[in-house]
Structure 1
Amino acid sequence: MQKKIIKVHPSDNVAVALVNLKIGEIISFENQDITIVSEVKAKHKIALNTFKIDDKIIMYGVLVGKASLIIPTGGVLTTENVKHQSAKVSHKTETIGWTVPNVEKWKDKTFMGYHRQDGQVGTANVWLFFPLVFCENRNIETLKEIFEKELVTQKVNSHQMLLRSLVNNGFDVATQQEQSTKVFENIDVKFITHPGGCGGIRQDSESLAKLLAGYVKNPNVAGATVLSLGCQNLQIDIFNNALKAISPNNKKPILMYEQQQMGTVDEMLTAIIKNSFEAIREANKIERLPAPLSKLKVGLECGGSDGFSGISANPTLGYTSDMLVALGGTAILSEFPELCGVEQELVNRCVNETSAKRFLELMQAFEKSVVDAGSGFDMNPSPGNIKDGLITDAMKSAGAAKKGGTSPIVDVLDYGEYVTKPGLNLLCTPGNDVESTTAMVGSGANIVLFTTGLGTPTGNPITPVIKVSSNSELAAKMNDIIDVDTGDIINGEKTIEEMAEVMLSYIINVASGTIKSKASLLNQDDFIPWKRGVSL
């Protein structure tokens, strides 16, 4: 018989409803009978004791809010009776030990990856086109149309056929199933556009340069074609310096074109197409070879979270992350607004005082910038989050942080910095799904694991994004975007550890190219840089 409620941590004074609960329903839980006093939807929280005004609300073992009204035992927690509150932290208080998971059966496993001269291994082989400034976006779009039309021959898909039939006044048109034929089997060609590179403060251009340099450095990229206008803030030498800083001995081919030095658009595009085609043909010669799992760098992301995310999908990622770290691999935990309230635990997990101090400084600076803009971390939960039970930022954060498992934090990075140390790394990014995913890939992630309880189609141009659902209802409803379903944890059929084994097997298959992630199949190539400054 499925449990109706669950308490995540022994010290919690609230429980999560696993199913819809009715008024008057009596639930026997931890040697007491709890009478449900209001309708409670699955994923929402109920009080395990009566809360008076300003009483602390504890979940995941941490402070996640305080009562703004009296909440009776068996009452549902809402935005009307609960306010955000989180614990404050100012320094490292202890060093938390780590119970290393048993990975004996995985230590000799490999994936089939693309080996780069700097020792990194890619899970994909991509030739990347991007501009240094938004003025070149149109030329990038033109090149995208040209290259995709010739390098990937696609039959007309069903939606195209639908429009065609409407244009022809409803006459039936012969249908063709969507199918693609690639000219080159070992290389993908991807295109990035963005709204930056000029018009903002100089720091924005420098930040964008670091991000784009990280994409070139990423092991999934074989080489790049870069377009510059010439007069923009993000000059070619700024980009080259950013790349040299993280890859001083770069051996990847980079084709650079500056429009104001080349004459007409036609002349520039002609040169780009000829030179890029030859470079792509050469990169196609690179083939997959076995690589140890220690070469995996996994980004950890959540978006469209629900009340189950913190007890199924996110802990699954956390245990998977711990397994990869134990195998010598790398994990990246970002989304700093969604670490609010769990800072003390993360600080205590830092391997040294320097990293602990830097984490707190970055968190405090980020929060100050948000407050200065007239907002606050407490406004982080989205309407979708709130509707599905995540009613305070601290509550959302405590569940989101579960993606990082329990391993020591080996380094703390600011936005645009590249990961150099195996183990769990913290990366300062916004909580925005695409901005955060974009940043982790720019810091070296060659796989991204993305949990969702509501459904989100986010992907990335160069790195496979594996979508993990927190509940089976979502996995069935939106099966075109979900790769792995952790709903069996909710219904009691699998443990978190068992689901992590499933997750790691799936990662190996995606990293080896034997399975394409749903986001990759949908060509969900999202790229949004974080603009931290103002516009001038």
Structure 2
Amino acid sequence: MTAVITSTSGENESESKASTLLLNAADDVLIALRPIARGEVLRDGLIAQDDIPAGHKVARRPLASGEEIRRYNSLIGAASADIAAGAHIHVQNLEMLDFARDYSFCADVRPTPTAGEKRTFQGIIREDGRIATRNYIGVISSVNCSATVARMVADHFRGRLDAYPNIDGVVPLTHKRGCGLDTKVEGVEALRRCLAGYAAHPNFAEVIIIGLGCEVGDLTGVLGGAQGTALVIQQSGGSAATVRTGIERVEAALERANNVRRVPVPVSELKVALQCGGSDGYSGVSVNAALGVAVDLLVAQGATAILSETTECYGAEHVLTRRAISKEVGEKLVDRVKWWEEFASRNGMEINNNPSPGNKAGGLTTIIEKSLGSIAKGGTSNLMAVYDYAELVTEHGLVFMDAPAFDPVGATAQVAGGANVMCFTTGRGSAFGCKPTPSLKLASNSELFRRMPDDMDINCGTILDGDETVEAAGARIFEDIIQTASGKRTCSERLGYGDEEFAPWDMGVML
């Protein structure tokens, strides 16, 4: 789904600048572009019956209780009470409903366009051919018991790398798990995949894995073929001795890690993670739609885009199955959605309660509405593959990775899967970074971009302001991705985000 903005204005508006947005002529709702006061005359002579916050929905016509309501020309729920034309539509009068999704596997598959001009970025080519966009040294704890030592090693180098200008930093990656279970349960396997994926990530020139030594859960082999070393506290003389040894190991790697240079690399080598957090009523209209345009441009170059957050495609997954390159790919996505339904049921939850208080304050009411806007990040490209959490991504084009909607947990999986750039959209404002992968923050509205200037890289509120088309904003995002991959620092990098956001999914039993 890509939002189609039919009009941003209408006759008889009480202000010279449009106060509402119509996404599709078949929609039952308008979107408020600013706070609207009760009694204001809106498009086509419609009179606001309530005070309506920015980003929220306005009824275009009278709706009877139980009647279906559409946005993006897609079903988002049903009226839970009679709704007057011009009334505020939100949690007080809109509810989820069960409906049958038409999966129509592969029905919308189209030939992938090929870009006429093959683009490059300034990347780093590792000795084994892997492509990096950053050049870090990583210090990873295999278990929470070694987290403090890992952080001490990395902290020693804070502010001490001036002599090594080609090194982006020494990153501590710690977590709260790593012991208590050594079986083939999903949670333990997901942790192993995360640790192995980060250890092998091309944005690390070298990694040091630090363990305690008595933990349950054998993490031998986490390094795999990655450049690095492992230290065990109980075998290295204790905490202080391990810190000293860890510092020595990093110091020995600095010269080698600094000896890199950036060279032209095809854009097809990019793996771009697509994330969103703190979404609002504008996210699916402006920023996610524009990112979808950028994704289509990336796919035309042969690059990879990793869509995720399974619980935020729930209710809209049929849009993706129709674009699945094969029935098997589409069925795997449906299987993951069914797994989430069962998982939620086992734990006494409902997926349709997903929109957070912040999402609802920003104008999103049901999970279907949120999901339709969320998957807009994936553009219109074919769905080439579906991956389990933190699985290594090998397919080019648009792919999907199963993960929760909590941003750090989903982003951790995408980076473990090999993402070397991340695009993170937000409407409410999100503070996030994801070392060793640079994270671009994209704002859905200009007010957010002005309010959080140190956190936001790209303003897509220009679409709502009428200053830029969705297509033009998407082309601008595409260029920013190339610049970021070439070494341009993002806001979150300048602020120092990324040391605390390593968050493997904890879904297993602990004994």
TM-score band, normalised by the shorter chain? over 0.9
The one-letter code of the counterpart of 2:177 is G
**Residues 530 and 491 of structure 1: is their aligned pair in 2 closer, same or farther, counting only changes over 3 Å?**
same
Where 1:280 maps in the other structure, the secondary structure is helix
**CA distance in structure 2 between the partners assigned to 1:236 and 1:83 by the alignment:** 46
Deviations along 1:251-277, whole A, 9 cap, x unmatched? x31211122223333333333222221
Question: 1:520 maps to what in 2?
Answer: 493
**Residues 358 and 117 of structure 1: is their aligned pair in 2 closer, same or farther, counting only changes over 3 Å?**
farther
Q: Tell me which of 258, 263, 269 is aligned to 1:284.
A: 258
1:230 and 2:203 aligned: no
Question: 2:8 maps to what in 1?
Answer: none
Cα distance, 1:188 vs structure 2: 2.3
Cα distance, 1:279 vs structure 2: 1.8
Q: Tell me which of 124, 142, 147 is aligned to 2:152.
A: 142
Q: Tell me which of 15, 21, 46 is aligned to 1:6.
A: 21
Cα distance, 1:402 vs structure 2: 0.5
Cα distance, 1:90 vs structure 2: 7.1
Question: 1:166 maps to what in 2?
Answer: none
1:495 and 2:510 aligned: no
Cα distance, 1:532 vs structure 2: 1.3
1:297 and 2:271 aligned: yes
Cα distance, 1:10 vs structure 2: 3.5
**CA distance in structure 2 between the partners assigned to 1:453 and 1:50 by the alignment:** 29
**CA distance in structure 2 between the partners assigned to 1:101 and 1:313 by the alignment:** 23
Cα distance, 1:413 vs structure 2: 0.5
Residues 236-385 of structure 1: matches in 2 within 5 Å? 236-237=219-220, 239=222, 243=224, 250=225, 252-385=226-359
**CA distance in structure 2 between the partners assigned to 1:327 and 1:397 by the alignment:** 27
Long gaps (5+) in structure 1: 153-180, 244-249
Q: Tell me which of 185, 210, 214 is aligned to 2:197.
A: 214
Q: What TM-score results when the alignment is normalised by the length of structure 2?
A: 0.92
**CA distance in structure 1 between the partners assigned to 2:228 and 2:220 by the alignment:** 13
- Further displaced range: 231-240 or 69-78: 231-240
Question: 1:453 maps to what in 2?
Answer: 427
Question: 1:125 maps to what in 2?
Answer: 135
The one-letter code of the counterpart of 1:65 is G
Cα distance, 1:291 vs structure 2: 0.6
Question: 2:126 maps to what in 1?
Answer: 116
**Conservation of the 8 A alpha-carbon contact between 1:298 and 1:332:** yes
Cα distance, 1:86 vs structure 2: 5.7
Question: 1:18 maps to what in 2?
Answer: 33
**CA distance in structure 2 between the partners assigned to 1:517 and 1:407 by the alignment:** 27
**CA distance in structure 1 between the partners assigned to 2:101 and 2:93 by the alignment:** 26
1:79 and 2:52 aligned: no
- Further displaced range: 183-192 or 357-366: 183-192
Question: 2:59 maps to what in 1?
Answer: 47
Where 1:26 maps in the other structure, the secondary structure is coil
Where 1:148 maps in the other structure, the secondary structure is coil
Cα RMSD, aligned residues only: 1.8
Where 2:146 maps in the other structure, the secondary structure is helix
Deviations along 1:160-216, whole A, 9 cap, x unmatched? xxxxxxxxxxxxxxxxxxxxx454433421111100101256333321110111112
Give aligned-pair identity as a percent: 33
Where 1:389 maps in the other structure, the secondary structure is coil
1:535 and 2:510 aligned: yes
**CA distance in structure 1 between the partners assigned to 2:314 and 2:28 by the alignment:** 20
Question: 2:10 maps to what in 1?
Answer: none
**Residues 64 and 121 of structure 1: is their aligned pair in 2 closer, same or farther, counting only changes over 3 Å?**
same
Question: 2:6 maps to what in 1?
Answer: none
**CA distance in structure 1 between the partners assigned to 2:477 and 2:216 by the alignment:** 43
**Conservation of the 8 A alpha-carbon contact between 1:135 and 1:229:** yes
- Further displaced range: 196-205 or 131-140: 196-205
**Residues 190 and 102 of structure 1: is their aligned pair in 2 closer, same or farther, counting only changes over 3 Å?**
same
**Residues 37 and 99 of structure 1: is their aligned pair in 2 closer, same or farther, counting only changes over 3 Å?**
farther
Deviations along 1:216-235, whole A, 9 cap, x unmatched? 22221222100111221332
More helix by share: 1
Question: 1:65 maps to what in 2?
Answer: 77
Cα distance, 1:144 vs structure 2: 2.1
**CA distance in structure 2 between the partners assigned to 1:131 and 1:69 by the alignment:** 54
**CA distance in structure 1 between the partners assigned to 2:351 and 2:254 by the alignment:** 44
Deviations along 1:32-65, whole A, 9 cap, x unmatched? x322211112210011222111111111222211
**Conservation of the 8 A alpha-carbon contact between 2:431 and 2:455:** yes
**CA distance in structure 2 between the partners assigned to 1:277 and 1:401 by the alignment:** 44
**CA distance in structure 1 between the partners assigned to 2:158 and 2:242 by the alignment:** 19
